[in-house]
């Protein structure tokens, strides 16, 4: 099998990396920027650290209506503003939703059509409007992935658009911008990054290069997520978490994901469950299901998450991984059942019907039947 490794984004990581925006604007001779963000970012007072730098470099317009699980409607609204101001660069400030919205707007700007036209892989033929991604959460990895995920409001489903053009050109990862992130969002986005790393590590598409990245991301999250949640001002832990989500992003962009990400889409589309929260509920159950198919790797994950596996057989060490994940999720105070986040158990079979054709199910380490998918969802209610 041939392995293709793609990482088209220039990455700048470290405190004050936001200041690199000045050099980018000057070098590229950008005259006008459209900033895509959400109201939470505006209220948290994060934007001036960017706009103060832009003041004398270029004109800028702010679109602050990005929503979690970004919909086609939000994309259309942002694109109408794009058509009015005709910017030559998009600056996404926020979590995955801001970055995914920016990618979708960038696609429409240079490829025309409607966003649903690009559903799938490699449908985006022309390079998109340049994007500077400024993540303010450490989780999605969207700053370095070649995909965007859009929520279709007509069919009530989430779909991906992927391909080499569907990427930010620059990613500025400044831990200072994540200091005000509340504990529950730090926790949920951090567990999303952990899910990326574990699913990339155990995926059927994983190989040495992606494994190296996934292992490092799992280690960093195991060592730093609790600190980032409980000591929000700890800039070192914040930077390590940004680094972890970035590395996990590069890993899963190449090794892909698995059952957690297949099963979490209907939870977001139908019940509005935040992506990271959905993953945190699914991860222990999916890991338990996958365990027999990847014993050696799960034994390593248990160790990376701090379990003592000395003198354990591979089986014994692997079994500790579920406990390690559960302990982390409980420690960072995330919900543990789907009932807690308002999901109706009666919707289980319909949710399985919605995700059963997701190609991630085929690269998950253990092949799941329809009945097994139903059972995994049901397990999430106990
Ligand atoms: Fe994710």
CATH of the domain at 160: 3.40.50.1970
Q: Does a structural domain hold residue 5? A: no
Q: What are 230-233's contacts with CB under 8 Å, separation 24+?
A: 230/183, 232/179, 232/180, 232/181, 232/182, 232/183, 232/186, 233/179
Residues 248 and 261 in one domain: yes
The length of the chain is 382
DSSP strand pairing (10-13 vs 170-173): parallel
Centre of ligand 1 from the C-alpha of residue 22, in Å: 30
- % the chain with pLDDT above 70: 100
Tens-place pLDDT, residues 98-113 = 999 999 999 999 999 9
Centre of ligand 1 from the C-alpha of residue 315, in Å: 28
pLDDT (mean) for 79-84? 98
Residues 271 and 288 in one domain: yes
User: What local confidence, expressed as pLDDT, does residue 21 receive?
Assistant: 98
Centre of ligand 1 from the C-alpha of residue 86, in Å: 31
DSSP strand pairing (120-121 vs 89-94): unpaired
Q: How far apart are CA 109 and CA 85, in angstroms?
A: 12
Tens-place pLDDT, residues 295-336 = 999 999 999 999 999 999 999 999 999 999 999 999 999 999
Q: Could you tell me the CATH number of the domain that includes residue 262?
A: 1.20.1090.10
Domain boundary among 158, 178, 198: 178
Question: In which order are the strands placed within the sheet that holds 10-13?
Answer: 10-13, 170-173, 131-135, 89-94, 32-36, 59-63
Give residues with Cβ within 8 angstroms of 320, minimum separation 6: 299, 302, 307, 309, 312
Confidence grade of residue 155 (pLDDT, cut at 50, 70, 90)? confident
User: What local confidence, expressed as pLDDT, does residue 335 receive?
Assistant: 96
Centre of ligand 1 from the C-alpha of residue 343, in Å: 19
Centre of ligand 1 from the C-alpha of residue 62, in Å: 26
Instruction: Say which residue, 88 or 1, is predicted with more confidence.
Output: 88
Residues 107 and 203 in one domain: no
pLDDT (mean) for 192-198? 98
Q: Could you list the residue range(s) of the whole structural domain that residue 65 is in?
A: 10-178
pLDDT (mean) for 168-195? 97
Centre of ligand 1 from the C-alpha of residue 139, in Å: 7
Confidence grade of residue 37 (pLDDT, cut at 50, 70, 90)? very high
Residues 226 and 324 in one domain: yes
pLDDT (mean) for 190-196? 98
Centre of ligand 1 from the C-alpha of residue 237, in Å: 20
User: What local confidence, expressed as pLDDT, does residue 68 receive?
Assistant: 86
Q: Is the pLDDT of residue 156 over 80?
A: no
Q: What sign has the CA pseudo-torsion 222, 96, 231, 53?
A: positive
Centre of ligand 1 from the C-alpha of residue 141, in Å: 8
Helix (H, G, I), strand (E, B) or coil at 344: coil
Tens-place pLDDT, residues 320-379 = 999 999 999 999 999 999 999 999 999 999 999 999 999 999 999 999 999 999 999 999
pLDDT (mean) for 44-49? 95
Centre of ligand 1 from the C-alpha of residue 196, in Å: 6
């Amino acid at each position: 099998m041939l392995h293709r490794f793609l990482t088209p984004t220039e990455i700048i990581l470290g405190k004050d990396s936001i200041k690199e925006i000045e050099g980018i604007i000057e070098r590229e001779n950008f005259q006008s920027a459209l900033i895509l963000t959400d109201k939470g970012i505006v209220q948290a007072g994060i934007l001036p650290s960017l706009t103060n730098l832009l003041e004398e470099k270029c004109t800028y317009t702010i679109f602050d209506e990005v929503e979690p699980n970004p919909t086609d409607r939000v994309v259309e609204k942002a694109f109408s503003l794009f058509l009015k101001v005709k910017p030559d660069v998009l600056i996404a400030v926020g979590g995955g939703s801001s970055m995914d919205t920016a990618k979708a707007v960038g696609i429409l700007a240079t490829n025309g059509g409607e966003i649903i036209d690009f559903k799938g892989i490699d449908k985006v033929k022309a390079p998109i409007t340049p994007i500077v991604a400024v993540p303010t959460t450490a989780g999605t990895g969207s700053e370095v992935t070649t995909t965007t995920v859009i929520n279709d409001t007509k069919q009530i489903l989430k779909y991906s658009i992927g391909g080499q053009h569907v990427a930010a050109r620059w990613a500025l990862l400044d831990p200072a911008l994540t200091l005000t992130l509340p504990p529950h969002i730090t926790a949920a986005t951090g567990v999303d990054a952990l899910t990326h790393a574990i699913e990339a590590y155990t995926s059927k598409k994983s190989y040495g290069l992606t494994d190296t990245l996934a292992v490092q991301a799992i280690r960093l999250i195991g060592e730093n997520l609790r600190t980032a949640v409980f000591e929000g001002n700890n800039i070192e832990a914040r930077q390590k978490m940004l680094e972890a989500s970035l590395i996990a992003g590069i890993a899963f962009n190449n090794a892909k994901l698995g059952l957690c990400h297949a099963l979490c889409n209907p939870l977001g589309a139908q019940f509005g469950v935040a992506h990271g929260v959905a993953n945190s509920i699914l991860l222990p159950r999916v890991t338990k299901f996958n365990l027999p198919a990847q014993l050696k790797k799960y034994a390593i994950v248990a160790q990376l998450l701090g379990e003592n596996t000395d003198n354990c057989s591979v089986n014994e060490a692997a079994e500790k991984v579920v406990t390690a994940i559960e302990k982390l999720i409980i420690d960072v105070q995330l919900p543990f059942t789907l009932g807690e986040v308002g999901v109706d158990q009666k919707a289980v079979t319909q949710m399985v019907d919605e995700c059963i054709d997701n190609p991630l199910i085929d690269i998950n380490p253990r092949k799941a039947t329809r009945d097994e998918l139903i059972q995994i969802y049901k397990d999430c209610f106990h």
